[in-house]
Amino acid sequence: MALELAARRKINGATLLVAALIYGHWGALTLNAAEMPPLLVAALGGWLLAWQGSLQHETIHGHPTPWRRINQLLGCPPLNLWLPYERYRALHMAHHATEQLTVPGHDPEARYLAEHAGPFGRLAARLTATLLGRLVLGPPLEIGGFLVAEAKAALADRPGVRRAWALHLVWVAAIAAWLVGVCGFGLGEYLLCFVYPGAALSLLRSFAEHRADPEPGRRIAVVENAPVLGLLYLNNNLHAAHHAFPQASWRELPGLYARHRSALLAANGGLVYRGYGEVFRRFLFAPHDAVIHPQLGAVAPEAVA
């Protein structure tokens, strides 16, 4: 099944509103965090950082304006401190380009391990195989693993990596100056109240959106009935629709999913969850899938940007 959407050169006002809400509330929250209960700061800070991750995803796919530079400017401030925007863009577009979704060495967003993975990688994967482990231990393990991989890529001088990190560190210095110098908000507190819960919320979205299967089309899931988290994830919970219509904005995805639901679920083998409540019930204490990818021997590795 081939489903495509023609690129549309228009300005998406709803996404601009989301961007204004994110950055405006982030500024206000960081200014006032010292006077607020820490749990409230963590709840609001986590939401804002996960929401900005969803906004960054929109900008990578060409929204909310027809102008790439403006979209990049809206998405590039690294509020999470650890993920350079240009590296996210390169890795995510490689994820969409590969025909071997979920396979390590092909898909840079794969959660599975290769058979030759080391003991630390295997331990980390087992600890985060359940949803509880992913939410509690996933943020430091995910971020730490990413930083190690990026350090290796920078040392190997892979194209674009050092430049992306140089720009990223300038942004991080500016954000740190705002947090410490203007707001009097310590970086340790920021990591605990913003970065950690934000990463956990993002990992909830990604936990069940892909699953290994012999048929590539059956590797992309859908989570329906998610009015609150659907807003947080800008409808990326309708993940099969996003992969089928990668140029569609988050505002268009629900309509596209509704119109093509039968075809999308036929193509993905019915890999659908009736809400995040089902994801919690099924996987809070049970592994989502095997740790080692079951089809690794069937394909040859690709280079990933």
User: In the prediction, which pLDDT does 7 show?
Assistant: 45
CA distance 108 to 91: 6
C-alpha span between 218 and 274 (Å, rounded)? 17
Whether 300 shows a pLDDT value over 50: the answer reads no
Cα dist. 101→34, 69, 274, 280, 290 in Å?
A: 43, 29, 23, 24, 15
Residue 1 scores a pLDDT above 60: no
Predicted local confidence at residue 117, as pLDDT: 85
CA distance 145 to 58: 25
pLDDT digits (tens, 9 = 90+) for 118-135: 888 899 999 999 999 999
Strand ranges in 164-291 using DSSP code E only, listed in sequence order: 222-223, 272-273
Q: What is the arithmetic mean of pLDDT over 53-59?
A: 98
pLDDT, residue 248, reads: 97
